[in-house]
Structure 1
């Protein structure tokens, strides 16, 4: 037996040695004083020191089942049963092999604590914070996302993902049901805000009922409670909108919802050319390794040829994106039986984008000898993303829970770009076909009251095939082909993988222990070939890489709970990888340790301190031996494997959320030290760039974020200030024999405020300041941008509301102003409502922005969406 086999034998013995001990079984039924079963009652077994030794919940009919190890526990134990709206009860019982104990709970006269702040209702009950949305909106909100942006404790990021209490949410539920899984942006960006009554933030969320008994989760979810009267009936709305001035604009949408006991269903359809992208609502893949919960592995192929759209990120998409978007999605969840449910999602998204731009790129490599070029781009893209997913959940008894999730996606993409590079005409067009499927099967089994085993079997495939045509006189000259020749590059990247992971989770008084063993095999193939009209070119521009990996991984975590608010977690991941690519065979052993210190939910807030070391291996696109054409003027090639890539990460986080007072502080400091990385050696000429990977020492970076939110009661103003600071240094090699350090600093400051005056007029206002600095080879470049915004909403009458949105941007010596006006008419007791949107009143037509990156200064002139007036009518039913 070799050393590796001995290590895994010891781990296997350690994993399963907990399972053999004498057990006590306690079961019964929890009822109220009218003999009705109480669902989700908390049932605990306490020892003589009031330490929890077993934990469970009652099922839908009130039945519970507990078992625990008798070893080390003497005398009588305490059965403690509690439930919302009922008085808790404690019962002393003797230890016997099997105990049947029914419990009757009395109704509690005093219910949930309700905290009311100036009419703003917030209810806090243990791990659930409930917020009445009507008290925080101003009736200008159109979607659920618009409402969430204004609620305490919730943050909507620029990409539409949602944070609650400082953490990215795992689920966005509707009436307790998950309909869209990770693609919840389909719901938050489309569901009508008018149907929403309450939003619940659920801390320590766990949707696996077996794992929920161990109470180990630190996940967060949001549950949407809809208004009364929407159950058991069809509800929704139809919107029709059309441009009536200047630009031809339109928006058509249809929302349908049905909430019944056995089925919940939502349909969203939308077609518009107002700048939003439909395909951006879909998450491509998930890689999640959860120490005390379920895992999820979905692998994605690497990018091949790139055609840049120069899409601006500074302004809102309605100001600067030229796109026709189509969305069609249907999601449902149904209870086929009492213990069997089915969830399904089918969607089709389509974007047709045209984006024109003029840009200038300057490489500040030497003080008095910069290299520069200009591009005039006419970009066209057609992107389609269709998918279907089905998930079965089976809960046959209180010890078993099974789920199976299947996902299929089809993602064809067609892109073209006619551009002028300096004075040369260049044409490039690319067609790609991408399809993928993933399957996740989980079986969770409760071995005893404090031991759970989870078996996770997964497999999947992702394939992309791409054909790119390039006409470039400069490229033809460099490759020594006819000046009027077209070049064709074919490229593909295919990955197929499968694996199984067994995880044993044990709860021993103050200890939470997880031991897992994972075996995974994946096979990946990467090809690219560059040919001309006359046949094959030199093999210097062809690649064929085959990468096979067989991994055996053992993850071992232990968390010691000093108290309910203080714990420390240590984790060590041992990986044995058989790593084979082309004719090179490696057997690699990696050790990745980490440690976390948590102080949570104290009166002073929550603190987290962490440290980890990470070793990884190169990806397949980093292992190419020859050059690959990555865009019309760039060549890239990889490197042979040498040693693992390594980095060290340390972080500190502090946060406190007092939702009923709309007070929060969220700050974190993140440090990254790269010990060994794949770095790029670049050779840049006036016409081309050549990039080769080389394994070198790395750099380091510091990231500091701080945000503070506070409600000033006397002024009826809620304000937020936030800052983000990044310091980094990275080794860079460009047109040189050596690597030099490039140092950068970024500072972003933003202030925003919302008023809640008891008068018809209220305001949203704020400003932001952005500073970016790069120093390389003693050359210093600085970029500063500023912006101000003021939104005014005026309640003209009970039925008429006006909203003015105004933004002012300062970019170098340029100033840009955007002014939008929205008029809403909502007749009383009518299902119809009307809106007029006057966009870009001052008709700003273009803007110029600059970005910095190491030695590169990129300046671009972008067209803006011209002034238009959109009239729409919405019918709610």
Structure 2
């Protein structure tokens, strides 16, 4: 079918050398290829430092129009044949006398699918690490979490000199590599990370490569700080080395100033092979009630005492064979103080709940990954062995005005996993093998004093304490083999495999009253075995023609489920044959415009997390169980996007729209009591949900103003059915937001950074509208360069919400001064944070049937003096 619709097309490579009348190489000559002298550009390139160029063409046109130009030389124009050829081009000086010549270095260069951003062009006096400069580059955005996006989509890889040292934990490099050590930031568009697949399967994702100034870079950064109110400290030491055969980043960090260093080891990995069948992220069955965290800098509100050690090392054992080790340990103690006012909206009533909260969190996390990788044009091997352990505990105190509740939680979690991927050409086809096997375990315990849910758990009598224990374990494996072959321009990749997941869940609920201990049986216990398996056959078809890319994936799955809880005398057996196609099409409309469409259909099934028969006390006021058939969601997803990027004018823009329609077999019932206590159960009843999302963003760098301006807007609408207090209701959530950002260096003595966001949230239940929530947040940072080696900065922020009666407006102000000792490169910095001593912040949010007003106690006004230097 594909060969019928998409005939083969011509592919040619035009290369050569450009030199002047003295046979000297001409660098920076522009080569433009089009159908004729007036048609749109088909391809273009720029000669390198040796005068060489190479341009790939994908077109059926027999003859082409070639135009080569260079400042000060006569433009060459001629017709050429569309075939592989190497040209020797000589340009002659222009006889025209120029009155004035202005030479400007290029800030963004494009060669093929690679955009190179000049770091020097975007860097100013205050920028120290490469993350500071990335934020100013058009088309690139760093989210508050540390994740990097290009044209609104997460990047796939973060390379340093072409090597992926950190495997998704790239914030550690981003926040520590000195900007002065970097020459360029390269955006690798349509980047295929597996070299064997480069000519077989296209990629729509982008990656980043950090180009250093020196081939061998041995560097490091350090910061030592101390302050008052209360006694403050901050230590950060990060030695680094980058060579052609070795790379290493080692760090030790500790502080109690509110800096969340755990963000530097957050994993943003995107699998080389797409979606992973099983997640190894930490699963918390139990929790204590938390406060909603403020949406601004954590240094303003995070009460912490943290230590982080991380060692990351890459060594090239032999040609193209790399061994990577990534190990980190985090120890952190945090405290939250504030209150939450929750208003529940039911179809017949509203329920108000006020909770004064004092929480303490203790985190101990060890993460380790060992990777052996070979990635060449004729071989691909990647084996990842991963061990992660979490030994966390939490303590919370809540005062509702009617009762005082103490919560104690222990929630450890551990995981071990091995992920192997092999690819090897045999004959004219590429043989592939994948294996992903792992084991997770969680033994968690929650105690609540005094005991809750008296009506259900203790015959309506008050009692001293309730304790929930949950023990769960999961073994999973996913193994497959396949081949990849190109036939008449179509890359065909059939694959066959099987998955197996065995989950075991034990839980028990105990009631304590004075010296009595009552182990509740019946519906308040679980002894669940959940076995699921899948045999699948997947075919992937990939086709490229001219500026079109097509990909069709056709997975057939045969799934089996065996679920049994012998204690509760419950069991289920289910077999399903599913077909879940995925279609993607992309068209490069011109050198600057690109559009894509994606559609897929999927069948999602629940696991033990959404399928257990006995009640579990998830937190002090929430009981949940899923005494129902296995959850089945039938999901349709459609997405359209349009991108524009023009490196010549430094203008980047994108817009996208997505629609999701989900049909589910279960409806979730929430029974909300007068005290806000919620009982959740699942009921077998077909229901539907719909989600619409649209966003648009644009950014441009204005060279004459030294300014990067970014604007964006998003709109989302989510509709679903919900069972509230035994009454069916249709819930609609709408969210509209606008944002504006600016990074500018107005003069040699003043630069500014501005960000503004306005958001409107609206929820209605069966046509009855909840209060509309409007929030605004603005920030303005001014940097005054009083001398070449010193600057003074003022950081201000303003937040508004229309719901809070007493705290609608929040103002913040920071003052900073930095002095640089030019000879040694040492920075001395003094900062006065929260000058206005703003002591609390109110955040408003909503869900399907409630809105929540959280008041968070902030850090007091404090002064910190620190010394920063490189070594």
| TM-score (norm. length: structure 1) | 0.83
Does 1:471 find its partner at 2:449?
yes
**Pick aligned residue for 1:681 from 669, 691, 699:** 669
**Pick aligned residue for 1:335 from 284, 305, 316:** 316
**Pick aligned residue for 2:237 from 222, 231, 254:** 254
Whole-angstrom CA distance in 1 between matches of 2:669 and 2:763:
19
Whole-angstrom CA distance in 1 between matches of 2:844 and 2:55:
66
Whole-angstrom CA distance in 2 between matches of 1:734 and 1:465:
32
Alignment of 1:150-549 (within 5 A): 150-214=136-200, 216-228=202-214, 231-232=215-216, 234-243=218-227, 245-283=228-266, 288=271, 290=273, 298-300=279-281, 302-366=283-347, 369-394=349-374, 399-448=378-427, 451-476=429-454, 478-480=456-458, 483=462, 485-533=464-512, 534-549=517-532
Structure 2 SS opposite 1:669:
strand
CA contact (8 A) 1:238 1:253 kept: yes
Whole-angstrom CA distance in 1 between matches of 2:704 and 2:211:
31
In the alignment, what sits opposite 1:710? Answer: 700
Whole-angstrom CA distance in 2 between matches of 1:281 and 1:463:
26
CA contact (8 A) 2:109 2:647 kept: no
Does 1:623 find its partner at 2:611?
yes
Q: Do the aligned partners of residues 755 and 234 (structure 1) sit closer, same or farther apart at CA in structure 2, a change above 3 Å counting?
A: closer
Query: Residue by residue, what CA displacement relative to the aligned partner does 1:339-382 show, whole Å, maximum 9, x if unpaired?
Result: 42211111111221100111111112256x42122111110001
Whole-angstrom CA distance in 1 between matches of 2:103 and 2:511:
72
Q: Do the aligned partners of residues 259 and 130 (structure 1) sit closer, same or farther apart at CA in structure 2, a change above 3 Å counting?
A: same
Structure 1 SS opposite 2:299:
helix
Does 1:796 find its partner at 2:786?
yes
Q: Do the aligned partners of residues 284 and 308 (structure 1) sit closer, same or farther apart at CA in structure 2, a change above 3 Å counting?
A: farther
In the alignment, what sits opposite 1:133? Answer: 119
Task: State the 1:301 CA deviation.
Answer: 6.3
Give the unaligned 5+ runs of structure 1.
1-13, 15-46, 54-81, 91-102, 111-115
Structure 1 SS opposite 2:746:
coil
Q: Do the aligned partners of residues 857 and 166 (structure 1) sit closer, same or farther apart at CA in structure 2, a change above 3 Å counting?
A: closer
Whole-angstrom CA distance in 1 between matches of 2:747 and 2:300:
32
Whole-angstrom CA distance in 2 between matches of 1:461 and 1:373:
40
Whole-angstrom CA distance in 1 between matches of 2:269 and 2:502:
19
Q: Do the aligned partners of residues 285 and 842 (structure 1) sit closer, same or farther apart at CA in structure 2, a change above 3 Å counting?
A: closer
**Pick aligned residue for 1:826 from 820, 825, 838:** 820
Q: Do the aligned partners of residues 715 and 874 (structure 1) sit closer, same or farther apart at CA in structure 2, a change above 3 Å counting?
A: closer
**Pick aligned residue for 2:10 from 50, 53, 69:** 50
Query: Residue by residue, what CA displacement relative to the aligned partner does 1:602-653 show, whole Å, maximum 9, x if unpaired?
Result: 2351111122111111121211112111110111111433573112111111
Query: Residue by residue, what CA displacement relative to the aligned partner does 1:289-348 show, whole Å, maximum 9, x if unpaired?
Result: 847xx9685444643112132132422212122122222111111111224221111111
Structure 2 SS opposite 1:311:
coil
Whole-angstrom CA distance in 2 between matches of 1:677 and 1:189:
46
Structure 1 SS opposite 2:309:
strand
Does 1:556 find its partner at 2:534?
no
Task: State the 1:660 CA deviation.
Answer: 4.1
Whole-angstrom CA distance in 1 between matches of 2:298 and 2:358:
18
CA contact (8 A) 2:631 2:665 kept: no
Task: State the 1:873 CA deviation.
Answer: 0.5
Structure 2 SS opposite 1:468:
strand
Q: Do the aligned partners of residues 104 and 831 (structure 1) sit closer, same or farther apart at CA in structure 2, a change above 3 Å counting?
A: farther
Task: State the 1:721 CA deviation.
Answer: 1.2
In the alignment, what sits opposite 2:574? Answer: 586
Task: State the 1:718 CA deviation.
Answer: 2.7
Query: Residue by residue, what CA displacement relative to the aligned partner does 1:276-298 show, whole Å, maximum 9, x if unpaired?
Result: 3333444469785847xx96854
What CA RMSD, in Å, does the superposition of the two structures yield over aligned residues?
A: 2.9
CA contact (8 A) 2:735 2:759 kept: yes
Q: Do the aligned partners of residues 483 and 118 (structure 1) sit closer, same or farther apart at CA in structure 2, a change above 3 Å counting?
A: farther
Task: State the 1:163 CA deviation.
Answer: 1.2
Whole-angstrom CA distance in 2 between matches of 1:89 and 1:703:
38
Structure 1 SS opposite 2:189:
strand
In the alignment, what sits opposite 2:597? Answer: 609
Whole-angstrom CA distance in 2 between matches of 1:676 and 1:656:
38
Q: Do the aligned partners of residues 458 and 202 (structure 1) sit closer, same or farther apart at CA in structure 2, a change above 3 Å counting?
A: same
Task: State the 1:599 CA deviation.
Answer: 0.9
Task: State the 1:817 CA deviation.
Answer: 0.9
Query: Residue by residue, what CA displacement relative to the aligned partner does 1:699-731 show, whole Å, maximum 9, x if unpaired?
Result: 212111011223445554332110011112111
Whole-angstrom CA distance in 1 between matches of 2:549 and 2:446:
54
CA contact (8 A) 2:193 2:272 kept: no
Q: Do the aligned partners of residues 311 and 191 (structure 1) sit closer, same or farther apart at CA in structure 2, a change above 3 Å counting?
A: farther
Structure 2 SS opposite 1:186:
helix
Whole-angstrom CA distance in 2 between matches of 1:360 and 1:398:
60
In the comparison of the two structures, how many residue pairs are matched?
777
Whole-angstrom CA distance in 2 between matches of 1:251 and 1:109:
61
Q: Do the aligned partners of residues 208 and 520 (structure 1) sit closer, same or farther apart at CA in structure 2, a change above 3 Å counting?
A: same
Structure 2 SS opposite 1:247:
coil
In the alignment, what sits opposite 2:753? Answer: 764
CA contact (8 A) 2:138 2:708 kept: no
CA contact (8 A) 1:488 1:532 kept: yes
Whole-angstrom CA distance in 2 between matches of 1:296 and 1:645:
16
In the alignment, what sits opposite 2:549? Answer: 567
Structure 2 SS opposite 1:275:
coil
CA contact (8 A) 2:672 2:679 kept: yes
Whole-angstrom CA distance in 2 between matches of 1:181 and 1:123:
27
Task: State the 1:796 CA deviation.
Answer: 0.8
Query: Residue by residue, what CA displacement relative to the aligned partner does 1:122-143 show, whole Å, maximum 9, x if unpaired?
Result: 2211121111212112232343
Structure 1 SS opposite 2:120:
helix
CA contact (8 A) 1:302 1:493 kept: no
Whole-angstrom CA distance in 1 between matches of 2:383 and 2:88:
39
Task: State the 1:106 CA deviation.
Answer: 10
In the alignment, what sits opposite 1:653? Answer: 641
**Pick aligned residue for 1:779 from 759, 768, 786:** 768
Query: Residue by residue, what CA displacement relative to the aligned partner does 1:471-520 show, whole Å, maximum 9, x if unpaired?
Result: 12444565218745322211022111122122322223432222211211
In the alignment, what sits opposite 1:690? Answer: 679
Task: State the 1:180 CA deviation.
Answer: 0.8
* Worse-matched range after superposition: 398-407 or 208-217: 208-217
Task: State the 1:539 CA deviation.
Answer: 2.4
Q: Do the aligned partners of residues 437 and 281 (structure 1) sit closer, same or farther apart at CA in structure 2, a change above 3 Å counting?
A: farther
CA contact (8 A) 1:523 1:546 kept: yes
